[in-house]
Amino acid sequence: MAAKQPLLSIAMPTHNRAGYAIHAIQSVLSQGDDRLELVVSDTSTDGELRRWVGQHPVGRDHRLNYHVPTHKLDMTGNHNAAVEACRGEFLCLIGDDDTIGGSILDATEWARGEGIDIIAPNVVANYVWPDFRSRYLGARHASRLYFARTMGRAARLHRADEALGQALANAAQGTDGLPKVYHGVVRRSLFELVKQRTGQYFHGSSPDVSGAIGLAAIGARFLVVDFPLSIPGASGGSNSGRSAMNTHKSRLSAESQTSGFIASGWTPGVPKFFSVETVWAHAALETLQRIAPETVTRFNFAHLLAACRARHPEFTQESEIATREAADLLGVDRQALTAAVERERRVLRRARLRHMLMRALRPTAAGGRPYIDGLATVAEAPPQLAARLASLRLDWRTAVRDIVNS
């Protein structure tokens, strides 16, 4: 007899990060529910996680699909492999230093019953691992579970085409406001449409951005709600940890996340160096070129180039070359684009000053957010989140009772 299809598959790609992944795996599977499947795609070369899975009782949990690809994959390839191995009716992609909240299965069951294809929760709870350090605050965020000051505000259905337009105007700098599979819940059949039209689920050097742009481009409605279905983790060994220390930048060839894309040709108009801004833009444009090429000229190259010039002056030459490429791509005068870049730089400078002022008004590391301190791993976060929600008398049904169609 064929195994029953899981309601929800949690996809967790990992590579040489067993110190985080072990706790994340145990945390996800601590939800004793057969509606759940956890797919771990492990491209590690150190063998540490593989040994642990083989020796630990968790490795015999029928809900764990521990998958070792048979050939070498980069980060994007590993994300594609993880989703490919999932069997669930719905998908949720998380990192190997993240976990899920106790309400995610109830929310997925509700989405199936209500005909909702995508739930894209805003991040209202996040965990910071003990090894996390930031450039200005040092270890003051470490071992904390943070909560947003407010949770459970009215949910709302959004139009994907409008979300895509806003993302293009912002040069796809992140996934806020977009439908998303990374820390979202997506009907598998819908995400398959992305693969059918482009050949893969994810493209470019940032799978989370690529997945969100792909979902937005196929035109589905999605639900946004201020309710935590998962708990993103920030660890010292992650990209978020490197960003906090301002070390998340280098040559394309120096990073496994981007080096594989050099031979195929880096996206014109995106500066040829590794940073948060460039990998997000690269992934978005690579996805759009395959699924909605007519939208590429709506991409706000001026905003991207302004961000790169303002935040990464050591790569000015790369930004200048990308400016020429973008002008040619858009069919505009180079001087006109340069002027637009300068206007965007002024906007970014004002936004930075406002941010610094707001932080000065809340000078603590938490910035006024509630938090729980002293948590050794992400596995300790879900019970604390459940207690927080109980104290607020907030559950999934309460969070979505006032859905307003946009």
User: What stretch of H or E contains 20?
Assistant: helix 18-29
- Average pLDDT for 131-160: 92
Q: Helical H runs in 172-206?
A: 188-198
SS3 277: helix
**Beta carbons of 400 and 233 less than 8 angstroms apart:** no
Q: Is residue 108 part of a domain?
A: no
**pLDDT category of residue 285 using cuts at 50, 70 and 90:** very high
Say if residues 403 and 154 touch (Cβ distance below 8 Å): yes
Task: Phi first, then psi: give them for residue 139, nearest 5 degrees.
Answer: -95, 15
This prediction's pTM = 0.94
Residue 262 lies in a domain: yes
Domain enclosing residue 345, as ranges? 244-361
Is residue 281 one of the residues assigned to a domain? yes
CA distance 312 to 339: 19
Q: How far apart are CA 208 and CA 228, in angstroms?
A: 18
Residue 354, pLDDT score: 81
Spatial distance between the Cα atoms of 249 and 269, rounded to a whole number of angstroms: 18
Residue predicted with more confidence, 244 or 342: 342
What token pair was written down for 47? 């063998």
Q: Tell me if 293 is assigned to some domain.
A: yes
Question: Is 317 a member of any domain?
Answer: yes
Over residues 152-159, the mean pLDDT reads 89
User: Helices (H) and strands (E) in the chain — how many of each?
Assistant: 15, 15
Mind listing the pLDDT tens digit for each residue in 210-243? 999 999 999 779 999 999 999 999 999 766 655 6
Is the backbone of residue 126 left (phi > 0), alpha (psi -120 to 50) or beta?
Answer: beta
Q: Which strand (E) or helix (H) includes residue 168?
A: helix 160-169
pLDDT in tens, 349-373: 888 788 777 766 776 778 889 999 9
Cα 300-305-308 angle, rounded to 5 deg: 135
Give a yes or no: residue 403 inside a domain.
no
Kindly state the DSSP code that residue 318 receives in the 8-state scheme.
H
145 vs 249, which has greater pLDDT?
A: 145
Mean pLDDT value across residues 278-304: 97
Q: Is residue 202 part of a domain?
A: no
Q: What is the mean pLDDT of residues 361-386?
A: 91
For residues 170 and 280, is the Cβ–Cβ distance under 8 A?
no
Residue 277: inside a domain: yes
Q: How many domains does the chain have?
A: 1
The pLDDT, as a whole number, for residue 404 is 46
Q: Are 37 and 8 in contact (CB under 8 A)?
A: yes
In the block, tokens 């059918």 appear at 196
Task: Give mean pLDDT, residues 325-332.
Answer: 96
- Kindly state the greatest CA–CA separation across the chain: 67
